[in-house]
Amino acid sequence: MSLAVLINPRSGSVPADAEEKLRTLLDELSEPCEITWLDKEDICTPIDACFATAPDAVIVWGGDGTVACALERAGEDGPPILPLPGGTMNLFHKQIHGGPCDWDECLRRGLTEGRLIDVPAGCAGDRRFYVAAMAGNLTDLAGPREALREGHVLEAIERLSGSDMLDMSTGMSFTAADSDGRPQDGYATAAAIFVGPQDQSDFEFAYINPDNSIELVAAGVGALFSDWRQATGVTTLHVNDVRLSHQRGYELRVTLDGEPVRLKSGTRFHRIAKAGRAISAQCE
């Protein structure tokens, strides 16, 4: 099997000696490989060069954003991706492998017992995302979370205080149809759309329109340290698609798999069942 490896050393938890560790394990498995480092601002060009060699499979060691970029470049029928957890949250990796697991366990099981699966995606206009889209004030959390991960607590506080993350004003409205076809609509200070695993046919849509600042703070702290869907005041629905609008027609402030973007008010989010292929280390 022709095996290629993409390593992003700038991701949250990829070790400094990643190449040495990975080659040692691949040698044990008798799997030769070509390794590409994604150590520049532009990761798309080296990813494209990797896929141009037509590998049978590609190992991607990095965070959710790195894996999302690789899937986007591979396309629906490109080589399957074996993601190794190397980010801060590793939500995509948990989604593909059925829960958290160490990079070496993912690699060993993926190459020896892994199964090929289709990867679903969400579409926001002509943009795709593979884990989640987040809209509203809580999209400012990427900076504070990165500062906390690096141990810069004061910097995280400064970034939080300099943002409008905890602004109580409600700027968005949504319309959706739930999994039973019933219409759902409302208002939100912040909302998130989670793609979910391949055996799920709809989005998990979570939103908050808090009655008080305590609820919004709780959601914000949850987003910094864990999963804000579990915070007080957050409502979760299962929907087939959802349309988000700004009440004044302004552009929506959104992150797609952690990447900040601006989308038109009224953007529709829908789900597609196959946007790529992956190797899951989850044993049946």
The three-point CA angle 96-190-160 to 5° equals 95
pLDDT at 257 (0 to 100): 86
Which residues are CB-contacts of 245 (< 8 A; sequence separation ≥ 6)?
172, 173, 174, 175, 252, 265, 266
* Cα distance between residue 110 and residue 15, in whole Å: 20
pLDDT at 148 (0 to 100): 44
Same fold, 3-113 and 127-272: no
On whether the CB atoms of residues 139 and 254 are closer than 8 A, the answer is yes
* Domain made up of 127-272: CATH architecture: Sandwich (2.60)
What is the token pair recorded at 7?
Answer: 């390593």
* Cα distance between residue 215 and residue 111, in whole Å: 44
Which one is the CATH code of 3-113: 1.10.645.10, 3.90.1300.10, 3.40.50.10330, 3.30.230.10?
Answer: 3.40.50.10330
pLDDT at 181 (0 to 100): 81
On whether the CB atoms of residues 276 and 81 are closer than 8 A, the answer is yes
* Cα distance between residue 11 and residue 16, in whole Å: 11
pLDDT at 228 (0 to 100): 61
Which residues are CB-contacts of 20 (< 8 A; sequence separation ≥ 6)?
none
* Cα distance between residue 156 and residue 151, in whole Å: 9
SS (HEC) of the chain: CCEEEEECCCCCCCCCCHHHHHHHHHHHCCCCCEEEECCCCCCHHHHHHHHHCCCCEEEEEECHHHHHHHHHHHCCCCCCEEEEECCCCCHHHHHHHCCCCCHHHHHHHHHHCCEEEEEEEEEECCEEECCEEEEEHHHHHHHHHHHHHCCCHHHHHHHHHCCCCCCCCCCEEEEEEECCCCEEEEEECEEEEECCCCCCCCEEEEEECCCCHHHHHHHHHHHHHCCHHHCCCEEEEEEEEEEEEECCCCCEEEEECCEEEEECCCEEEEEEEEEEEEEECCCC
- Domain residue extents for the chain: 3-113, 127-272
* Cα distance between residue 221 and residue 148, in whole Å: 12
* Cα distance between residue 121 and residue 95, in whole Å: 12
What is the chain's pLDDT, residue by residue, as a tens digit (284 residues)?
799 999 999 988 999 999 999 999 999 999 999 999 999 889 999 999 999 999 999 999 999 889 999 999 999 999 999 999 998 778 899 999 998 889 999 999 999 999 999 999 999 988 999 998 989 866 655 555 554 455 544 444 445 544 554 554 557 999 998 878 889 999 988 888 999 888 888 999 988 876 555 555 555 555 544 566 666 678 889 998 999 999 889 999 898 987 889 999 999 999 999 999 999 998 55
Residues in the chain: 284
Instruction: Give phi and psi for 279, each to the nearest 5.
Output: -105, 120
